[in-house]
Structure 1
């Protein structure tokens, strides 16, 4: 998958702590996600509905760090 035109960004909540993910929401139907510590690594790519469900779970505090 060609992600050359990806516009990566980190959440404003990341506080530059170094343990962040970056997303590139500028694609239709997919959301590429990568580790900010390894920007040249292979990103994970999620369908938009799966990404939205993940974010909704985080916002609802439905996911634990355990």
Structure 2
């Protein structure tokens, strides 16, 4: 996923962005970033789901 995002940033040109529109291009990049973030979180923080979470302590 990281490689795809890096290539999108490096190799897209105005001409390749224009047909889809800047807004759609940016939304696609934001979606890729969210997916990368979710993947990172699932790998590095997957064991913390059963841990004590002070910000949720009041919910029972």
Larger proportion of helix: 2
TM-score grouping bracket, smaller chain normalisation: 0.3 to 0.5
Structure whose alpha-carbon radius of gyration is higher: 2
Using CA pairs below 8 Å that are at least 6 residues apart, which structure has the higher relative contact order? 2
Structure 1 length-normalised TM: 0.33
